[in-house]
Amino acid sequence: MIINIMGGDWQEITQSIIIGLIFSFLVAKLISMVISIKDANLKVTREQEDEDDDVKPNQESTSLPEVKEEEEIIESDEKKKKSADTTTRVVSESDEDDYDDWEGVESTELDEIFSAATAFVATAAADRLSQKVSNDVQLELYGLYKIATEGPCTSPQPSAIKMTARAKWNAWQKLGAMPPEDAMEKYITIVSEIYPAWISGSSVKKHGGVKEGNDSKRSMGPVFSSFAYEEESDNELKMEAIHTSAREGELDNLVKHIESGVSVNLKDSEGRSPLHWAVDRGHLDIVELLLSKNADVNAQDNEGQTPLHYAATCDREAIAEILVKQNADTDVKDNDGSSASDLCESNWSWLRK
Amino acid sequence: MAENNSTVESNGDGENLEISSEIGNSSNSNVVVNENDAAAIEAITRKVQDTLTVGGKKHKFWETQPVGQFKDLGDTSLPEGPIELPTPVSEVKQEPYNLPSLYEWTTCDIDSEETCAEVYSLLTNNYVEDDENMFRFNYSKEFLRWALRPPGYFKSWHIGVRVKVSKKLVAFITGIPAKIRVGDVVVTKAEINFLCVHKKLRSKRLAPVMIKEVTRRVHLENIWQAAYTAGVVLPTPIATCQYWHRSLNPKKLIDVGFSRLGARMTMSRTIKLYKLPESTVTPGFRKMELRDVPAVTRLLREYLSQFIVAPYFNEDDVEHWLLPTENVVDSYLVESPETHEITDFVSFYTLPSSILGNQNHSILKAAYSYYNVSTKTPLLQLMNDALIVAKQRDYDVFNALDIMHNESFLKELKFGPGDGQLHYYLYNYRVKHALKPSELGLVLL
């Protein structure tokens, strides 16, 4: 009896222990799965970080004309070897000589389009309204992306429990040693199939046309700044069309004004003649024209300055010489008592008699 | 730029990959505006929202880094100080990060004339340009040696990337150690600078791995914080500063497009406006010499102590950073003619830029205001003398940030605002409130 009862109990106890073990194993497994899924998420997030362009260094606008590239001061490796001892100087040389060095290394058009495509996928994917892309396609894109950016898969196979990671790993692994260029092309093809309109999308404008002007400021490191505003304008100033033409160097317009009877010595509200403006902006042809039309070479503005004062201040030697040849008076003093030669920082010996 | 504002993540059951947007998170962040820094926070928030709405841009990389996050802006419950605790150096990843297979890491020995020339060439042709691609920084080789070899520097922090086959140098990033005080605490940090990737390698995504690699090498020296600047808003600036420019050679600046002449303004009047006296006006104003190092160190320590973030210089640092070096750094001081006491100090560094595509000029010679100390001579007068010296030495323009007490002289000395803003960042250090530029006492090259 006792043994029997005991025996029955044993069976029950053993049974419940086994069931309990199995159950707790399953629970543990479940927990580890949940955790591993989270892990996988984190991993994906980290992998995606690499794509972020926040941290890209100063990268160049492709709008730079080709000519500029050729003017670039790049020392070629070859040159360097020849003159290793005298490398203190930089040899101006066309980068194109280095062509072989760059083959397979420089960013190609394919790189650009691929980059645009990945950016597009990221933006499109962020748009909740965009059509859902099947899991298989996403995995395929993932695999191609990894091949294109990192090459063949060399990382160890993730455990079978980490289903997401495993699926991705498989997608990468099965592409084997596919060349990155093929992967990029395939990627672009798939994206183009899913979103036929992507190439005209916004991200392409950025990459095709490419980069906006402010790209250089989107980088870590120092900033090149220049003046935000123009040199203050004198808003009270009233000037006529003939002054504007002289200032802008518009020869034809200037001739028209003179022919239509506008005085060649017309003054603006600061007392400046067209000749003052032409000298100020350095338009030699306009200066000659005005002088040939008998413009007053010694006209003084409201501060008592002649065109020669302007030429001296602005260091315009060729123009100053013409003015002097046309009998500009070198002794005229402005309201501060300065002659043209007082204002001249360069050494114009011909001006200081 | 690419906007990678999404994460690939799995949904609940782990079966399906779903791509979801997280744009909401940052734009909805609560911003508590305090009276003091209301303006600063507003400005930053506006920028954050701008980037989010215009570019839909998120900062995936920086969100995973120990830096102040946008979502924490104005959250006063978070402590000021390091974000992550140091780990034992032995636990730092020992191997370099992987580069794409065509490239390899190299340590750039800047002492080697040949390597220095390669770095110079890479930077001169590929480093920072202005918005319109009219100018590109042209740091001289002497400048690079000065900037990269301060006392206690690590050669291993001068990191290059070469093409495996040709050995051509195609990318560069550097760190230097610097003792920087934030509040009351002086900690050795890394100053990260000169991140540059060759133009032909854009869209190869080398930059993130370079930043990670320099961070790893900094950690290997048991240093856990860093300071850096950027022209772009990243999470999260500790201060946002403005560049100002003072024309010294207005005609050349206008000719090359650095500044523009208003239609109703004459060149003649502009030149007159910026004219400077022939010689300096402060009695006892002279060039700094080696024998001045102790006095200058004392002067600077005392002066810089009033700013919230500032370098903590010892005499070796002062000798390195401030003793004049031809065409790199210039320092002048005021020695009282009566007591021979050193009372004031002014310095600037020389950073030329290549002028791209101008027939008449190829180099823009710019002086950048560095560290200035005024105790007896008014700062305005001191800076005016600095301008006069720079003009004598043929600089085209004198640049200054609105940091320290600079704002007090900018307008009066005819500086005009620039189109460039410079944001300052600390890595692995959170500040509770953004600093006003005037609370910042740090200049990064």
Which residue in B18, B193, B267 is closest to A281 by CB distance?
B267
Range of the domain at A141: 110-210
| Cβ <8 Å between B266 and A88 | no
Regarding whether A258 and A188 lie in a shared domain, the answer is: no
Partners of B349 in the beta sheet?
B329, B368
Start-to-end CA distance of chain B, whole Å, equals 26
Size (chain A), residues? 353
Regarding whether B246 and B208 lie in a shared domain, the answer is: no
Catalytic residues of B: 445
Q: Quote the pLDDT of residue B103.
A: 95
Q: Quote the pLDDT of residue A310.
A: 97
**pLDDT reading at A217 higher than 60:** no
Q: Quote the pLDDT of residue A248.
A: 96
CA B189 to chain centre: 14
Domain count, chain A: 2
| Cβ <8 Å between B120 and A90 | yes
In a domain, A58, yes or no: no
Domain count, chain B: 2
For residue B400, the SS3 value is strand
In a domain, B305, yes or no: yes
Contact B217, B157 (CB under 8 A): yes
How many residue contacts between A and B have a Cβ separation below 8 Å? 353
Ramachandran region of residue A173, left (φ > 0), alpha (ψ -120 to 50) or beta? alpha
| Cβ <8 Å between A123 and B5 | yes
Of B207, B228, B249, at which residue does a domain stop? B228
A282-291, B67-76, B291-300, B367-376: least confident range = B67-76
Contact B116, A75 (CB under 8 A): no
A120-134, A150-164, A245-259, B420-434: least confident range = A120-134
The interface predicted TM-score of the complex, written ipTM, equals 0.84
In a domain, A65, yes or no: no
Q: Provide the CATH number for the domain around residue A331.
A: 1.25.40.20
Tokens 């399953």 locate to: A26
Q: How far is B22 from chain A (nearest CA, A)?
A: 8
Regarding whether A204 and A268 lie in a shared domain, the answer is: no
Q: What is the DSSP string of B241-269?
A: EEEEEEESSHHHHHHHTSS-B-TT--HHH
Regarding whether B220 and B116 lie in a shared domain, the answer is: yes
B-contacting residues in A 243-282 (Cβ below 8 Å): 247, 272, 276-277, 280-282
Look up residue A215 and give its DSSP letter: G
**pLDDT reading at A5 higher than 70:** no
Average pLDDT score over chain A: 72
What is the tens place of the pLDDT at every residue in A311-339? Answer: 999 999 999 999 999 999 999 999 999 99
Query: Which of A79-88, A148-157, B336-345 ranks highest by mean pLDDT?
Result: B336-345
Give the max Cα distance, chain B: 84
Contact A241, A257 (CB under 8 A): yes
Q: Quote the pLDDT of residue A156.
A: 81
Partners of B261 in the beta sheet?
A231
| Cβ <8 Å between B1 and A219 | no
Contact B332, B288 (CB under 8 A): yes
What is the tens place of the pLDDT at every residue in B324-350? Answer: 999 999 999 999 999 999 999 999 999
Which residue in B10, B170, B243 is closest to A41 by CB distance?
B10
Range of the domain at B276: 240-439
pTM of the model: 0.71
CA B302 to chain centre: 23
Read off the pLDDT band of A190 (50, 70, 90). Answer: confident
| Cβ <8 Å between B229 and A88 | no
For residue B194, the SS3 value is strand
In a domain, B398, yes or no: yes
Of B197, B228, B259, at which residue does a domain stop? B228
Of B228, B255, B288, at which residue does a domain stop? B228
Q: CA neighbours within 13 Å on the CB side: how many for A195?
A: 24
Q: Quote the pLDDT of residue A218.
A: 55
Regarding whether A280 and A320 lie in a shared domain, the answer is: yes
Q: Provide the CATH number for the domain around residue A132.
A: 1.20.80.10
Contact B362, B313 (CB under 8 A): no
What is the tens place of the pLDDT at every residue in A19-43? Answer: 777 777 777 777 666 665 554 444 4
Helix (H) or strand (E) holding A71: helix A66-71
**pLDDT reading at B29 higher than 70:** no
Question: Residue A268 and residue A244: Cα distance in Å, rounded?
Answer: 10
Q: Quote the pLDDT of residue A290.
A: 96
Q: Quote the pLDDT of residue B23.
A: 30
**pLDDT reading at B55 higher than 70:** no
| Mean pLDDT across B37-48 | 52
Q: Quote the pLDDT of residue B52.
A: 40
For residue B170, the SS3 value is strand
In a domain, B143, yes or no: yes
Regarding whether B293 and B200 lie in a shared domain, the answer is: no
Q: Provide the CATH number for the domain around residue B126.
A: 3.40.630.30
| Mean pLDDT across B11-15 | 31
Average pLDDT score over chain B: 87
**pLDDT reading at A72 higher than 50:** no
Which residue in A84, A219, A237 is closest to B264 by CB distance?
A237
Contact B41, B434 (CB under 8 A): yes
Q: How far is A230 from chain B (nearest CA, A)?
A: 5
